[in-house]
Amino acid sequence: MTAMLTDQIGRRPLTVYPYAVTTVSVLCLGIIGCFDYTQKSTSSLLVFFACLATFSTTGASSIGYAYAAEIPQQRLRAQTAGLSLASSNLIALMFSFCTPLMINGPLTKWGVKTGFFFAGTGTVAVIIAWFILPEVTRRTPAEIDEMFEKKVNLRKFKHYVTDVQTHAAEQHEMEAHTHTA
């Protein structure tokens, strides 16, 4: 579903907003962990927020691969994409190992309250993403490179008119003029 919406909505909103929903969901899981979640009503909330967190994260996660492939400069694309994806996988591996220990480890036994930890890390990630993720939907690699070279503010990528776009518009106008003459 994310792939179909990317060109209509954009990569940035499809990344930041689902991660914000995930962060709120895991915060709610942490709060539920402070109560007796073995009761039917509370356990239903637990399942709901766990499903919501999983659904929202799953959709947004696929966009990370698009960012890794599109954002780096053409000449550095392979190295940068490889480094970013390797880093992402190492962090995922670390959390895959540490999360069970946080939930029911010999020292912590946080249980569902582990949601507080992930709400904290998620909040930091959402704030960082809000400020550093540019919108590059429907941009060519040449346009993205140009905007980085001209040091265009990342938040202004969406509406910035590049030299490539200006040149294409001029070419289109000249072609239209020659066809009418």
For position 131, which CATH number holds?
1.20.1250.20
Q: If you write DSSP's letter for every residue of 4-22 in order, what string do you get?
A: HHHHHH-HHHHHHHHHHHH
- Do 134 and 158 lie in one domain? The reply is no
Instruction: Give yes or no: residues 46 and 81 share one domain.
Output: yes
Q: What is the mean pLDDT of the chain?
A: 89
The answer on 86 and 167 residing in a single domain is no
Asked whether residue 145 carries a pLDDT value surpassing 70, the answer given is: yes
Domain tally for the chain?
2
- pLDDT value at position 70? 86
- Distance separating alpha carbons of residues 10 and 13, to the nearest angstrom: 6
Q: Does 44 share its domain with 76?
A: yes
Residue 56 has pLDDT above 70, yes or no: yes
Q: Which domain holds residue 146?
A: 140-180
Distance CA 173, CA 68 (A): 35
pTM across the whole model: 0.83
Same domain, 90 and 168: no
Tokens of 28: 């709610």
Burial of 113 (0-12, 13-18, 19+ CB in 10 A): middle
If asked whether residues 45 and 114 sit together in one domain, one would say yes
Residues 29 and 78 in one domain: yes
Q: What per-residue confidence (pLDDT) applies to 129?
A: 93
